[in-house]
Amino acid sequence: MCEALPTDLLEVHEQLDAADREARSLVVDLDDAQANWQPDGGAAWSIAQCLDHLAAANATYLMAMEEAVDRARARGRLRRGPARPGVFAALFLRSLEPPVRRKTRNPGIVTPTSALPLAEALSRFLRSQDGARRLLVSAADLDLAARFANPFVPGIRLRLHAGFLILAAHGRRHLWQMRRVRGAPGFPHR
Give residue 56's pLDDT.
94
- Tell me the whole-structure pTM to 2 decimals: 0.93
Give residue 101's pLDDT.
80
**Domain hosting residue 83, numbered range:** 2-182
pLDDT in tens, 104-145: 777 766 778 778 999 999 999 999 999 999 999 999 999 999
The CATH number covering residue 125 comes to 1.20.120.450
Judge whether 167 lies within some domain.
yes
Give residue 100's pLDDT.
84
Judge whether 190 lies within some domain.
no
For the chain, give percent helix, strand, coil, nearest 5: 60, 5, 35
pLDDT in tens, 58-95: 999 999 999 999 999 999 999 988 878 888 888 888 98
Judge whether 188 lies within some domain.
no
Give residue 115's pLDDT.
87
The pairing of strands 157-159 and 147-149 is antiparallel
Give residue 165's pLDDT.
96
Q: Which of 34-38, 108-112, 169-173, 184-188 has the lowest mean pLDDT?
A: 108-112
Give residue 1's pLDDT.
54
In whole angstroms, give the CA distance from residue 53 to residue 27: 16
Can you list the pairs that 120-124 forms with residues at least 24 positions away whose Cβ atoms lie under 8 Å?
121/35, 121/47, 121/48, 121/49, 121/51, 121/52, 121/55, 122/23, 122/24, 122/27, 122/51, 124/51, 124/52, 124/55
The total number of structural domains in the chain stands at 1
Higher pLDDT, 158 or 113: 158
